Structure 1
Amino acid sequence: MSSHPSHVFARASLLASAVALALSLPAIAQDNAPDTDSKIEVIEVTATKRTQVIYEVPVAISAFSGDALAQQGITDLTDVGKFVPNLNVTGFSAGHTSSANPFIRGIGLQDHLVTTDPGVSVYVDGVYLGRQVGQNWNLNNIARIEVLRGPQGTLYGRNSIGGAINIITKQPDEVALTKATLAAGTRGRLKGDVFINRELSDTVAFNLNGGYTERDGLGKFINVPDAKYDVGETKEAYGRFSLKFSPTDDFSLVLTADANDGKGGLRPYTTLIDEVPTGAYYTGERFGEPTPAGPLRNTDVAANIYDNATGTREVTEVSNEASGISLTLDAGLTDTLSTRAIISRRSSEYKAGLDDDATIYALDHYPERGDADQTSIEWQLSGYYGDFDFVSGLYFFEEEGGNRQGEDSRFNGGANLLELDQKSTSRAVFVNLGYNVSEALRVAGGLRFNRDKKDVVANVGSGPFSASDSWSQLSYDLSANYTLANGMNIYGSVQSGYQSGQFPARPYCLFGNPECLVASDNITAVNYEIGFKGQLSSNFAMSLALFNTEYEDLPYQVSTTAEGGFSTTNLVVSQTSRGIEWESTLYLTDAFKLHTAVGWIDVDVDETEGVKPVAPLTPELTAAVGASYEFALPNGASLTTRVDYSFRDDMYGEPSSDEGRMTQLASRELVNADLRYSPANGNWSVSLYGQNIFDERYDNARLNTGDYILRILSNDASEFGLRYNVTF
């Protein structure tokens, strides 16, 4: 552990805050007696792989009810990032419109190549999604979304050093239900979705969800007039089917299959050419050689930043397909012992790629294809004996994937080659043990041992090179949760996280250094956190968390133009993140509800090789406010209004805060609105909605390669429309 004075001060501040909070709690407990007429829905979550009321979980966690997602303007994972403290979801990934790159508390990954791993893990019904581009991100048939902030290395394993996102779908049951949603709006929005749940017999039930959505683009490919899609245009069909067999109350099998097929236009982006006397684009030379296009200026890029001036047809279109099948077994072995097994097989593939110079010239364009196949198996054994409870298990994960840039790619006017193949295998064993010291106090601890291996083959035009490496790590967590007389909870926890090392994403260093295909070391994280959460009264619930997280051997991605292509290397750093997070729900009246979420983070990165990096894509402040009011109409119908505001502070797109702040992304403010009419005793509703109603345009990422700056734009322009829901 580092003994840097700021680290010591941060820990002392957290301890002082905990003491002050503990001393004030008895007074709070006396002033706020439990109220049985609570207006606030009590949400149960499975963040610790067992069902708990959200206030009892010793983790900073946000939860969203599936039925309320549309009214809040949440249609995909990117939208979730607008309403969670210290969560920022960007899109980059070779310009693909389906990419979703979560950053929690300053930890994430904006790349997508198979040699990289995200720092935030995403699960759907307990199945880990190894790749975060091209997946089925349509948030339909959702029971709940849980966002866990901070390292989750014990129960969730590797690749959760920033946090984890759980998406839980609705399970088949005995209730006969059909729901349909139709939506149409500006920007060519069309969407249709249907959900059917039926019981086939006393022991068998199924549900089916399917839909189609499309939206127009934001610009034109001005030099490819017959391009199939516009810039940012999206079209996607998706479906999910679950079949549940439950012959007894103590045994069930759920078979689930899902698939999606998406197509569209390249994500909006532009290039800022470095117009300085030494700039390679500006002088028309690179590595001392004239570029085939000669000198370039910013006037060669499309005047409208949402248009695209590429002359390369291959990069105008993106596509993605994913499919998966899983089998989940739940069985009660005794009155106090149960087991669960989750077996899954998933495949995904995509086509995308940027024309980095963003001009008609065939200078720097990289059409790309990728695919990945993964198999995962998790077995859990859980139970309780007296005041003890436990969750234990074994985990296996294997992924094989690759990325290709070939003859249709160009660098400096010549052919560009990038071939990556990697096989990754992960095994783990874990246990978490809890003990109820008293009715009010629970303590828990957990251990997880991970072993990972990666075999990679890379070819950038100088011949294929292979490398292999393996890692192992023991992760741990300790926590204590105390429930006050009024039902409020105070907790303290120490959590560790782990991520295996990573090979370079674009190893063009192989041209001059065949030994550069080397993976980074283990990434480790230790998080110290205290929190206070629960219902202070029948109309007010809140959660407060203070954290200090220390990361070692954390690789930052640094991209430059190097001989042979667009090179990405790892800058390994030590980082300390500290901050505070607040969420609350307040009923001002029976009809008026107000939700707030605020996150503040301060990130300190140790100086490395004489350079003081900054944490990329990490806004210092995130905030969201949502207000809803339900009007009771004279005829028994209701009119519900909802307005949601989201703020994200400015941030840097890469680890360097370069002079002129060219890689700095400005802050952004978004407003969504929803007005819903529901008739008395009716089975339908109609909503007038608006997303990003003030048409805020903002950047998702920026990268400075030395010759030019890639400015990746959001695909999130304003949209207004009507949404019709019917249930029968």
Structure 2
Amino acid sequence: MKRRALSWQIGMLLAATSGIMVTAPPSRAQDASDAQNPQDAPTTQPPANKSKAKTLKAMVVTAERREQNIQAVPLTVSAMDQVELNRRGITSVADLNAIAPGLVVIPETGGYTTGAQFSLRGQFVGNPAMYWDSTTGVYVNGVYFGKSKVDVFSLPDLERIEVLNGPQGTLYGRNTIGGAVNIVTQKPSGVFTGTAQAGIGRYGEHTEMLRMDLPALGKLKVSVGGRAKNQDGWVKTTSGSSAGSLGKIDTRDAYADFLLDATDNLSIEYRYDFSNAHNTPAFGQTVHSDILKVFHIPGIIVNQDRQTHASIDAPVYENLRTDANALHVDWKLGVGTIKYIGAHSETHYNNGLELDGSPINFAQSQETNRYRETSHELQYVGSVGNWNWVTGLYYFEDKGFNADPQEYFFGAAVFDPNLYWYGSRSRAAYGQVEYKLNDQWTITAGLRRTLDQKNVSRFMQAGGYTLVPRGTEASAGWGSTTPMLNISYQMDPNHLLYARYAEGFLSGGFNAEAQTASQVTSPYKPEKAKTLEFGSKNTLLGGAMRLNADVFYNRTTNLQQIVFTAQGAAASNVLNVGRSHTYGFEGQLQWRATNDFDMGLNYSYMKGKFDKYMQLGKNIANNQSYAMLPRHILSLTAHDVLLRTSNGTLGASLDYRFTSGYYRYTYQKVVVNPAQAVAGNTRIKAEGILNGRIAFSDMQWGKVSGEVALWVNNITNKSHIDNYIDFGPGFGNLRLAYYNMPRTYGVTVRVDW
């Protein structure tokens, strides 16, 4: 059955590819190597009898650590520039949901507003705790951000976002078994230019943004900017609560970027980013609780419908400050370029959570953590003749401290102190070499060797009784080798076929929140993924259409799975439970039908199954739900120029995103063990959200241009659950739901000079 399903997917791809080859118009005579050059990409070269404007803009990406046209990169990559980000209203992490095939982005468990959880091709980590590693690596200008507590997407000078599907274990390293997200910002130009933007919206929203490139000071170019956003929470609290509303946003972001072109061959860039937030978490609405039912407070304690008012008793807040520094040095040699990327960031974070959604003191916590990370990377990138290569050395370390006192059962159970200290160190050497056999065939091979070390220290008491003694410490190390092999065939300048094999791994570690010393000191092993992918990239209609498709099969061993422990304090432990596999189809379409109308479509079909899932010595794979793996993900966008005038254009954009239903957690599907949670209770239902925007842009006043835009998010005002917390039978089946925002709307004004 597995083989038939995978064969069917491969057959669909081959059939689609064959149809493309048959129906595609004749291509221009052009050396296939031109497709590797972003300046000479075929997407920018329409036939002579076509309007040059009726072509898609060439998209240059750095998915393989060097600039390439997106159609020349033999792997599944999605990319959006600033224009598309604005059209789709993407301003935060949560807005990235479904923008790429196979991608699910949900708010962090606990309703945190300063980060998000990623699932890419079904690879995910379900806990935002500091000692957990993500399955999707997030990089800003090549710098890895190890944790999710930074809203890096609110950068004022964002240039583009790239999403890479599948393990990226060779060039990007550990913790990319699902894929990687690249964030690229604009470089200082040395010319006095800038953008000022302001907007207002529902729930008292107001945003301000300013970005400026200053005139060059000799060989020094400088860019500075900032962004502020304020919005009232859409869930109002009772007068007795310390928080006026839940889901409130109050953020400030700023940056300064200095680029020194010291010589024709040497450039040095230093960038500083600052982020500060004083928010309130989203409302964790109680949708079920066996214990709280006895209080009989309808509409406040337990309610299945999205609520806009909450009666809570615990202090609720979320504060974050991040300071990030990055240094880039590029030194061009006679052959190739040596690059150094160094970075250091520190994050201070604290929050107060109400975990029962009621005015009754049943479950609450207050968390404080400190986190810092440092990385160094040395690369040698170059090309000679038919050879291209990327090699490098990498070092990363991070440290953190967490204090999380918790109170449950009306104060009968108080876990304080509840502390842990965490640290890790990673070293790696890697190389990837591409050789062009001839005008059609290219082979690429890569290898990375990584050595990881982690340590943890834990102290926990409950009501004065010691659960985990102070000084409970452990350390361990692991090594992993991750290869990659890619064979591509350039049929002509507009059609590329490829086959890719890649491996990746998710770091091992310790359960720093565990409630016994033996659980704390027992490490879990690295999770390993092996993926086979077949794909096709096609430029059609003289450059007016891009149609890409792929099928993939992924096998995971040493599978890391979350086990929620309701032993008094709420905590989640990681266990290596066995093996799993996933497979699917992904498609991407971009089409500029006329000079005034263009559209885009992303779609993915995915399935997954546990081959082995061990629990208490038994294989229960057939009764465990596969979490965070929607069968269907669809994204559809359209933009139409409605009116052109001598001083601007009127355009309208629509953005529709659909995700089919999926299990939020890996729980039992049928009740076999009454002491464990049931998967169906936290199943996320299918959802489709429609956003829209209409803008009058390209207004000119000399050298100044402007835009006025009206936007609406969640046009149909759909209500759905984004995330759950399920405390399980050990906590009286307390279950919290985090709903999406109701319809929002506003106006934004932008001026460029």
Q: Same fold (TM over 0.5)?
A: yes
CA contact (8 A) 1:575 1:604 kept: yes
Write the letter of the residue equivalent to 2:692.
A
Q: Secondary structure at the match of 1:504?
A: coil
CA contact (8 A) 1:120 1:159 kept: yes
1:289 alignment counterpart: none
Check 1:296–1:136 CA distance in 2 against 1; reply closer, same or farther (3 A cut).
Answer: farther
In 1, the alpha carbon distance for the partners of 2:637 and 2:321 equals: 34
2:594 alignment counterpart: 589
- Of residues 233, 237, 246, the one that matches 2:261 is 246
2:425 alignment counterpart: 425
How far apart are 1:116 and its partner, in Å?
0.8
Check if 1:235 corresponds to 2:250: yes
CA contact (8 A) 1:61 1:148 kept: yes
2:34 alignment counterpart: none
CA contact (8 A) 2:367 2:403 kept: yes
1:693 alignment counterpart: 715
1:360 alignment counterpart: 359
How far apart are 1:616 and its partner, in Å?
1.9
CA contact (8 A) 1:481 1:491 kept: yes
1:328 alignment counterpart: 328
In 2, the alpha carbon distance for the partners of 1:384 and 1:411 equals: 67
- Greater shift after overlay, 250-259 or 19-28? 19-28
Aligned 1:2-13 pairs, distance under 5 A: 6=2, 8-9=3-4, 12-13=7-8
CA contact (8 A) 2:456 2:512 kept: no
- Of residues 638, 653, 660, the one that matches 2:649 is 638
1:349 alignment counterpart: 348
Write the letter of the residue equivalent to 1:614.
S
Check 1:668–1:199 CA distance in 2 against 1; reply closer, same or farther (3 A cut).
Answer: same
CA contact (8 A) 2:98 2:635 kept: yes
How far apart are 1:484 and its partner, in Å?
2.2
Check if 1:39 corresponds to 2:55: yes
Write the letter of the residue equivalent to 1:681.
Q
Check if 1:256 corresponds to 2:261: no
**1:561-588: CA deviation from partner (whole Å, max 9, x where unpaired):** 1145445443623121101111111122
CA contact (8 A) 2:27 2:494 kept: no
In 1, the alpha carbon distance for the partners of 2:664 and 2:598 equals: 36
- Of residues 496, 502, 505, the one that matches 1:498 is 505
Check 1:355–1:573 CA distance in 2 against 1; reply closer, same or farther (3 A cut).
Answer: farther
How far apart are 1:23 and its partner, in Å?
5.9
**Where does the alignment leave 5 or more consecutive residues of structure 2 unmatched?**
29-41, 462-466, 671-677
Aligned 1:430-469 pairs, distance under 5 A: 430-461=430-461, 462=467, 463-464=469-470, 465-469=472-476
Check 1:410–1:191 CA distance in 2 against 1; reply closer, same or farther (3 A cut).
Answer: farther
Q: Secondary structure at the match of 1:617?
A: coil
1:548 alignment counterpart: 553
In 1, the alpha carbon distance for the partners of 2:196 and 2:559 equals: 46
How far apart are 1:468 and its partner, in Å?
1.1
2:81 alignment counterpart: 65
- Of residues 293, 307, 328, the one that matches 1:305 is 307
In 1, the alpha carbon distance for the partners of 2:593 and 2:658 equals: 23
- Of residues 594, 600, 603, the one that matches 1:598 is 603
Identity of aligned residues (%): 22
In 1, the alpha carbon distance for the partners of 2:15 and 2:206 equals: 53
In 2, the alpha carbon distance for the partners of 1:90 and 1:458 equals: 30
- Of residues 214, 218, 231, the one that matches 1:215 is 231
In 2, the alpha carbon distance for the partners of 1:187 and 1:82 equals: 25
2:664 alignment counterpart: 653
Check 1:549–1:298 CA distance in 2 against 1; reply closer, same or farther (3 A cut).
Answer: farther
2:683 alignment counterpart: 664
1:141 alignment counterpart: 157
Aligned 1:3-152 pairs, distance under 5 A: 6=2, 8-9=3-4, 12-13=7-8, 27-28=22-23, 31=26, 35-36=46-47, 37=52, 39-152=55-168
Check 1:206–1:534 CA distance in 2 against 1; reply closer, same or farther (3 A cut).
Answer: farther
**1:246-278: CA deviation from partner (whole Å, max 9, x where unpaired):** 022321100000011101212121223343xxx
Check if 1:383 corresponds to 2:386: no
For these two proteins, the number of residue pairs brought into alignment is 701
- Greater shift after overlay, 609-618 or 405-414? 405-414
2:746 alignment counterpart: 721
**Where does the alignment leave 5 or more consecutive residues of structure 1 unmatched?**
284-294
**1:609-647: CA deviation from partner (whole Å, max 9, x where unpaired):** 342322222211110111111133344531011111111
How far apart are 1:460 and its partner, in Å?
2.5
1:406 alignment counterpart: 405
Check 1:439–1:175 CA distance in 2 against 1; reply closer, same or farther (3 A cut).
Answer: farther
1:523 alignment counterpart: 527
In 2, the alpha carbon distance for the partners of 1:307 and 1:460 equals: 35
In 2, the alpha carbon distance for the partners of 1:158 and 1:567 equals: 22
**1:155-202: CA deviation from partner (whole Å, max 9, x where unpaired):** 000010000000000011233211101111111110000010123234
Check if 1:539 corresponds to 2:544: yes
TM-score (norm 2): 0.88
In 1, the alpha carbon distance for the partners of 2:15 and 2:691 equals: 38
Aligned 1:594-633 pairs, distance under 5 A: 594-608=599-613, 609-611=618-620, 612-633=623-644
Q: Secondary structure at the match of 1:69?
A: helix
In 1, the alpha carbon distance for the partners of 2:301 and 2:564 equals: 21
How far apart are 1:94 and its partner, in Å?
3.4
Write the letter of the residue equivalent to 1:242.
D
In 2, the alpha carbon distance for the partners of 1:135 and 1:634 equals: 38
2:339 alignment counterpart: 340
How far apart are 1:727 and its partner, in Å?
1.0
In 2, the alpha carbon distance for the partners of 1:658 and 1:223 equals: 41
How far apart are 1:11 and its partner, in Å?
5.4
In 1, the alpha carbon distance for the partners of 2:578 and 2:419 equals: 28
How far apart are 1:517 and its partner, in Å?
3.1
CA contact (8 A) 1:672 1:692 kept: yes
Check 1:125–1:634 CA distance in 2 against 1; reply closer, same or farther (3 A cut).
Answer: closer
Q: Secondary structure at the match of 2:181?
A: strand
CA contact (8 A) 1:442 1:482 kept: yes
Write the letter of the residue equivalent to 1:258.
D
TM-score (norm 1): 0.91
**1:590-621: CA deviation from partner (whole Å, max 9, x where unpaired):** 11111111111111112423423222222111
In 1, the alpha carbon distance for the partners of 2:339 and 2:203 equals: 45
Q: Secondary structure at the match of 1:70?
A: helix
Q: Secondary structure at the match of 2:344?
A: strand
2:673 alignment counterpart: none
- Greater shift after overlay, 27-36 or 679-688? 27-36
- Greater shift after overlay, 192-201 or 234-243? 192-201
CA contact (8 A) 1:365 1:410 kept: no
CA contact (8 A) 1:256 1:327 kept: yes
2:694 alignment counterpart: 675
Write the letter of the residue equivalent to 1:235.
D
2:318 alignment counterpart: 318
Check 1:410–1:571 CA distance in 2 against 1; reply closer, same or farther (3 A cut).
Answer: farther
Write the letter of the residue equivalent to 2:309.
D
Check if 1:187 corresponds to 2:209: no
How far apart are 1:498 and its partner, in Å?
1.1
CA contact (8 A) 2:534 2:551 kept: yes
In 2, the alpha carbon distance for the partners of 1:529 and 1:720 equals: 41
- Of residues 463, 476, 483, the one that matches 2:483 is 476
CA contact (8 A) 1:552 1:575 kept: yes
Write the letter of the residue equivalent to 1:318.
E
Q: Secondary structure at the match of 1:68?
A: helix
1:286 alignment counterpart: none
In 1, the alpha carbon distance for the partners of 2:378 and 2:737 equals: 41
How far apart are 1:534 and its partner, in Å?
2.9
Q: Secondary structure at the match of 2:307?
A: coil
In 2, the alpha carbon distance for the partners of 1:715 and 1:493 equals: 38
In 1, the alpha carbon distance for the partners of 2:238 and 2:709 equals: 37
Check 1:218–1:634 CA distance in 2 against 1; reply closer, same or farther (3 A cut).
Answer: closer
In 1, the alpha carbon distance for the partners of 2:403 and 2:383 equals: 50
In 1, the alpha carbon distance for the partners of 2:299 and 2:716 equals: 29
